[in-house]
Structure formats: structure tokens, C-alpha cells
Amino acid sequence: MLLSILIKIFIIGFGGLLLGAVLGKWAYTYYQHHLEALYLFCGGMLIGVIGFELVPESIQLFNFWSLLAGFSLSFILFNYMESAFHSMFKHKSYLSLIAFVFAILAHNVPVGIALGMSGSNEAFGMALLLALFIHHLPEGIALYILTRISTLNEMVVVLAACIVSLVLSFSAGIGMYTAPTKDWNGIFMGIAIGSLCYVAFHEMIGKVLGRIVKRELFFFVTLGILVLYLYLQLSHEFL
């Protein structure tokens, strides 16, 4: 049972990153001047997962203050990490890829623990797996593009995706064997939600601000949210 769940988490994480990498390769090859729209669309989809699934479920299951504490902690952590990596690696182009992969690894630890702790709650676990897969798509796109910019072999993408997914599964295993209180569960979920928000608003949408007009920004983000909302409605009808 445990092994099958961890394998499922690995496959979903690995598959999301590789599918994103395939999209990144296609986009990098044919749409080098339209990547902003793709990032905004993916960011909108992630916002939809957070707003329509994770936040409503978390508010029902966990204490608000523990969620807020975890949410705040994740933003402090990732802002500190970003400034630290930029100051250390700003003179080396390939090190931006290392910093990005490390950020994904750090982000997947609380997400994996949250997945492990939600193993007994199938509906909530599926929401997290959906969020995991969707947020790995834009990360896979960015992973491929950064790899190409760094002039590294494409196998680096596969290796990085494998390492990230292994860390995710390992973290989920830890989450399954721990028995934290409801407050600790809320903190971990707050960290997961905050981390996903960081990826959506900072890494996806924030990176293209100023490079696209506000009308197009609003359109593509809204389109991503609507597509995700319709997908969730259809999935709830048939699952």
C-alpha cells in the first residue's frame, strides 16, 4: 500500500515535469517570442487549483492561524532563498538552473509531507495530486528552457525531474509515518499553499510583468483559471 502510493506520487511528479519539459521544448522551438502567454496561462491554472480546491478544503480541515503561520513561513523562506542564490550565482549562467532545481526541491518537501499526511483522506489527496501535476507543468517548461539557455544536454532535464520526484516521494513517506497534531498539519498545508502561491504569482506571473500589456496579462491568467475551473467541474461530475 505504502509503496504503491509513493510510486504514484513519483510518477505524477515525474510525469508532470517531463510533460512540461516537452511543452517547453515545443514552445522554445516554435514560440520563443510568446512564452509570456504560456507562463501566464499556467500561472492562472495554478491559481485555480489553489482557489477552488486547496484553500476551501484546508479552511474546513485545519486551524486558520496554523495555515497562516505556514503560509507566511513559506514566503519568508523562498524570498530568502531567492536573494541568497542570486547573490551567490549571478555571474554564472548555468547556476540559475541549479538555483531553480534547488528551489523546486525545497518546495516539494512540504508538499510531499502534506501529500503523505493526506493519505487517509482520498478526496483531499487527489486535490493535492492535481495541484502537484499542474504546478509541475510550468516548472517543467522553465526547467527545459533554463537547461537550453545553459547549453546543457537535454538529459539534464530527465535527471533533475527524477531527483525532484524522488525527494517528493521520500517526503511523502515521511509524512505517512509521522503523526503530527492538527495544528502541525495546518502549518504544513499552509507551507504547501504558500509555496504554490509563490510559484504561481512570483515565478510564473511576476517574471513576465512589464513584458506584456495588462490586458493580455489579465486575459491569459483568467483563461487559465477558467480552464482549470471547468476541468474541476467536469472531473467532479465523472469521478
Q: Of 159, 112, 149, 134, give the one whose Cα is nearest residue 229.
A: 134
Report the alpha-carbon distance of residue 36 to residue 207 in Å, rounded.
9
What is the rounded distance in angstroms from the CA atom of residue 127 to the CA atom of residue 38? 23
What rounded mean pLDDT belongs to the chain? 76
What are the angstrom distances between the C-alpha of 2 and each of 41, 123, 192, 223?
35, 17, 21, 37
The model's confidence at residue 239, banded by pLDDT at 50, 70 and 90, is very low
Q: Which domain holds residue 30?
A: 2-238
First to last CA, the chain: 21
Is the distance from CB of 138 to CB of 39 less than 8 angstroms? yes
Query: How many residues appear in the chain?
Result: 239
Q: What is the pLDDT of residue 219?
A: 92
SS (H, E, C) the chain: CHHHHHHHHHHHHHHHHHHHHHHHHHHHHHCCCCHHHHHHHHHHHHHHHHHHHHHHHHHHHCCHHHHHHHHHHHHHHHHHHHHHHHHHHCCCCCHHHHHHHHHHHHHHHHHHHHHHHCCCCHHHHHHHHHHHHHHHHHHHHHHHHHHHHCCCCCHHHHHHHHHHHHHHHHHHHHHHHCCCCHHHHHHHHHHHHHHHHHHHHHHHHHHHCCCCCHHHHHHHHHHHHHHHHHHHHHHHHHC
% of the chain with per-residue pLDDT over 90: 9
pLDDT in tens, 154-199: 899 999 999 999 988 888 888 877 755 667 767 777 877 887 787 7
Q: How confident is the model at residue 204 (pLDDT cuts 50, 70, 90)?
A: confident
Over residues 94-108, mean pLDDT:
67
The rounded percent of the chain whose pLDDT value lies above 70 is 75
**What number of other Cβ atoms are within 10 A of residue 208's Cβ?**
18
CA distance 58 to 85: 31
Question: Structurally, how many domains does the chain consist of?
Answer: 1
Provide the grid cell at 125.
489527496
Report the C-alpha gap between 99 and 104 in whole angstroms: 9
Average pLDDT over residues 29-53: 77
